[in-house]
Chains A and B, each alone.
Chain A
Amino acid sequence: MNVFRLTGDIAHLLAIILLLMKIWKTRSCAGVSGKSQMMFALVFTTRYLDLITNFISLYNTTMKMIFIASSYGTLYLMFLKFRATYDSNHDTFRMEFLVVPVAGLSFLVNHDFSPLEILWTFSIYLESVAILPQLFMISKTGEAETITSHYLFALGSYRALYILNWVYRFYFEGFFDLIAVVAGCVQTVLYCDFFYLYITKVWKGKKLTLPA
């Protein structure tokens, strides 16, 4: 554990809490992509199957359980409790365009051709692109609520902080996981445009809107 990974995990946790708070407080999931949230639930489910087979630490187990539970909690709020507020007309990204290629790639490029390892690889690849329906939704509507933009900033920061963690671990622990690093870099790059808008607009007190 190093400071980058810890702050990355905290940013990730903060993002999830922000999203749940937004939905709960406004009693609405307007502007949130149900498809991105479904894919995040799939990401956590396929990655954390090792909860059953492998104990790493109390911290690790607790965080994994929080991530899995909160992702299904978010789905519950979006698709059951506040279903009427779900903006499905703008959530039109085709999930199969991500899930199918990612599934294929996880069979082809992995550390070990075993069921758990393939599922772990699938989750890493899927996570890297799972935000695309959300970003697509914002580009369609041309704006995002400020709380949603804070959520996205925290979520994007998490993987950026993980990159620093991987640099640290490479130099100080000799640890290097090519699959995680490449996918993590792709994931972070996808946020760059959003980061720019967030810093130039939201940090100056304006709402996040896209240039016409």
Chain B
Amino acid sequence: AEAAENHDEL
């Protein structure tokens, strides 16, 4: 997984 993913979870 790439770094600093798009944090779409709460």
Please give the number of chain B residues whose Cβ is less than 8 angstroms from any Cβ of chain A in the complex: 9
Supposing A176-B1, A177-B1 touch, asked if A12 and B10 sit within 8 A by C-beta, the answer is: yes
Interface set of A (CB-CB < 8 Å, partner B):
5, 9, 12, 47, 50, 54, 56-57, 60, 63-64, 67, 111-112, 114, 116-117, 120, 162, 165, 175-178, 180
Instruction: Pick from A60, A114, A178: contact of B8, CB below 8 A.
Output: A60
Interface set of B (CB-CB < 8 Å, partner A):
1, 3-10
Tell me the interface secondary structure of chain B in the complex.
Answer: loop
Given A117-B3, A176-B1, A177-B1; 11 other pairs, CB 8 A cutoff: A5-B9, A47-B7, A54-B6, A57-B8, A64-B10, A112-B3, A112-B4, A120-B7, A165-B9, A177-B5, A180-B9
**Smallest distance from the beta carbon of A192 to chain B beta carbons, Å?**
22
Which residues of A sit under 8 angstroms from B8, Cβ to Cβ?
56-57, 60
With both beta carbons as reference points, the residue of chain A lying nearest to B8 in the complex is identified as: A56
Contact A60 B10 (CB under 8 A): yes
- 5 A-B contact pairs sorted by A residue (CB < 8 Å): A63-B10, A116-B4, A117-B3, A162-B9, A178-B1
Bound complex: CA A116 to CA B5 (Å): 12
Instruction: Pick from A54, A67, A112, A114: contact of B10, CB below 8 A.
Output: A67
With both beta carbons as reference points, the residue of chain A lying nearest to B1 in the complex is identified as: A176
Which residues of B sit under 8 angstroms from A54, Cβ to Cβ?
6
